[in-house]
Copies of this chain bind each other. A is one copy, B any other.
């Protein structure tokens, strides 16, 4: 690597002070044309660019937001990251990603790291779903002393931060109502892990909806099914093989589209015709939903919009000192073939 050229080198060679070099860079009008040209030439000749580290140190900010989530390779978080990235970019900021893996609690190590990096703000997505509420609030409060904090989370209980909530009410209500309209009465929920606040809230919301519509809330219709395809396959097999065929549900709602993918594979393996023998509704409206066979009806929580809102609020919070804030982006249902909507009403 070649010796790095600094602002001092430029200043010396141009016969001016470093202040003037900075002015040229900043397009400060208080520089004579002659000086500007001369300095610019030296800058160009040396391919000089001011060091970001030095600027950060001097400026006391990094123009970088942290995004903490379990894994980016998960499609849902993927979309959050992408949206946050561009929203930050639009505002001259960058996003630094922290992956916590299966560890869904917010560890002291990661808090330390965030502080060390002097981020301009931090957005938590998913990585706090299973954290103990008290631990979580302690961690958020500590972080809050150093930077604005935002979360994309399922909680309706307000945390001490910018809180962008998933619309879990409609996430349960929309598919059930739609299936009900289509004539379904026995509806099952295959979802997540009961260790996660998100999932358990979804499970609770699901049961509430069933009762609200006077539908059977058989506990056998509510199975712990993880988050991925393999889990979906196993869960649906477990559920159905434990039930007399007469008690089988006529429709299944899943925690997400990956689980739905597994469920569909397993059902086909069992010789069922979809959606005639079983209706399916997933969640997240992933890119592949239009390309499954049958195409998959799915709830869209609009993670991109939540991420963009969170980033905007974080950037705003750098200036103002408003600490707390909450909003919900309403979920929507995207109807495709897997729920049997095309088949019209029917009695089961």
Contacts and interface: CB of A to CB of B under 8 A. Distances in A.
Contacts of A47: 115, 142, 145
A157 interface: no
Contacts of A264: 291, 293
Q: How many interface residues does chain A have, given as a range?
A: 35 or more
Contact of A146 (B1, B54, B112): B1
Contacts of A290: 229, 265
Contacts of A56: 53, 56
Nearest to A233: B291
Contact of A145 (B2, B51, B118): B2
Interface in A244-282: 261-262, 264-265, 268
A54 B86 CA distance: 27
A30 interface: no
Contacts of A52: 116-118
Contact of A81 (B1, B72, B115, B229): B72
Interface stretch (A94-102, A215-223, A235-243): A94-102
Interface in A5-62: 47, 49-54, 56-57, 60, 62
A159 interface: no
Given A96-B94, A118-B53, A2 B146 contact: yes
A92 to B, nearest CB: 12
Contact of A96 (B53, B96, B115): B96
B62 A72 contact: no
A79 interface: yes
Interface of A: 1-2, 4, 47, 49-54, 56-57, 60, 62, 71-73, 78-79, 81-82, 85-86, 94-97, 99, 112, 115-118, 142, 145-147, 229, 261-262, 264-265, 268, 287-288, 290-293
